[in-house]
Chain A
Amino acid sequence: MARTANLAQAGVLDIAPVDPIPSGSSKINVGKNERWLSVGAGLLIANIGIRRGGIGGVLLTAVGTSLALRGASGYCPINEALGRDTSDDKTETNVLEISKSVTINKPREEVYQFWRKLENLPKFMRHLEDVKQMDDRRSHWVARLDSENPAAKALPKVEWDADIVEEEENSRLVWRSVPGATIDNSGEVRFVDAPGNRGTEVHATIKYRPPQGIVGEAVLKLLNPAFKQMVKEDIRRFKWLMETGAITTNEGPSGRKPETTNPALRQPMQNPAETPQNKTKPSITDESIVL
Chain B
Amino acid sequence: MRALCYNGRNDLRVERVPDPEIVNPQDIILRVIMSSVCGSDLHLLNGYVPTMQEGDIIGHEFIGEVVEIGPEVKKLRRGDRVVVGSILGCGECSYCQSQSWSLCDNSNPNAYMVKPLYGYSPAGIFGYSHAFGGYAGSHAEYIRVPFADRGCFLIPEGVKDESAVFCSDAFPTGFMGADMADIRPGDTVAVWGCGAVGQMAMRSAYLLGAERVIAMDRHKHLLEQAKNNSNAEVLSIDEIDIQEALKEMTGGRGPDRCIDAVGMEAVSSSPQYYYDKAKQWVRLENDRPIVLREAIKACRKGGTISIIGVYGGFVDSIPMGAAMNKALTFRMGQMHAQKYIPRLLDYVANGQVDTSDLLTYKMPLEEGQRGYNYFNSKSNNTTRVVFTP
Contact B112 A232 (CB under 8 A): yes
* B54 within 8 A of partner (CB): yes
Q: CA A232 – CA B55 in complex, angstroms? A: 29
* A169 within 8 A of partner (CB): no
Contact B117 A271 (CB under 8 A): yes
Interface string of B118-148 (1 = CB under 8 A from A): 0000001000001101111000100110110
Among A229, A246, A259, A270, the residue within 8 A (CB) of B26 is A246
* B5 within 8 A of partner (CB): yes
Interface 9-mer from A23-31, A208-216, A237-245 = A237-245
Q: CA A103 – CA B120 in complex, angstroms? A: 13
Contact A239 B23 (CB under 8 A): no
**A interface, over-half SS:** loop
* B302 within 8 A of partner (CB): no
**B interface, over-half SS:** loop
Interface 9-mer from B79-87, B165-173, B194-202, B277-285 = B277-285
Contact A246 B94 (CB under 8 A): no
Q: CA A199 – CA B105 in complex, angstroms? A: 14
Residues in A neighbouring B113, C-beta threshold 8 A: 266-269
Q: How many residues of A contact B (CB 8 A)?
A: 42
Contacts A255-B56, A265-B130 hold; do A246 and B25 have CB atoms under 8 A apart? yes
Smallest Cβ distance from B142 to chain A, in angstroms? 8
Residues in B neighbouring A252, C-beta threshold 8 A: 20, 23, 135-136, 143-144
Among B13, B72, B105, B114, the residue within 8 A (CB) of A239 is B105
CB < 8 Å A-B pair total: 141
* B383 within 8 A of partner (CB): no
Among B90, B147, B283, the residue within 8 A (CB) of A272 is B283
Contact B112 A229 (CB under 8 A): yes
* A236 within 8 A of partner (CB): yes
* B92 within 8 A of partner (CB): yes
Residues in A neighbouring B284, C-beta threshold 8 A: 272-273
Contacts A232-B112, A248-B109 hold; do A272 and B134 have CB atoms under 8 A apart? no
Q: How many residues of B contact A (CB 8 A)?
A: 60
Interface string of A272-291 (1 = CB under 8 A from B): 11010110000000011001
Contact A105 B94 (CB under 8 A): yes
* A256 within 8 A of partner (CB): yes
Among B23, B57, B93, B140, the residue within 8 A (CB) of A105 is B93
* A198 within 8 A of partner (CB): yes
Residues in B neighbouring A256, C-beta threshold 8 A: 53-56
Additional 18 contacts, C-beta under 8 A, given A240-B106, A265-B51, A271-B117: A199-B94, A233-B112, A243-B90, A243-B93, A244-B91, A246-B24, A247-B24, A248-B90, A248-B107, A252-B143, A253-B18, A254-B17, A255-B3, A255-B17, A256-B53, A268-B116, A271-B116, A287-B116
Closest 10 CB pairs of A and B: A256-B55, A255-B55, A252-B136, A255-B5, A287-B116, A250-B134, A253-B17, A255-B15, A243-B92, A246-B24
Q: Which B residues form the contact surface with A (CB < 8 A)?
A: 1, 3, 5, 7, 13, 15, 17-20, 23-26, 50-51, 53-57, 72, 90-94, 97, 105-117, 124, 130-131, 133-136, 140, 143-144, 146-147, 282-286, 313-314
Q: Which A residues form the contact surface with B (CB < 8 A)?
A: 103, 105, 198-199, 229, 232-233, 236, 239-240, 243-257, 259, 262, 265-273, 275, 277-278, 287-288, 291
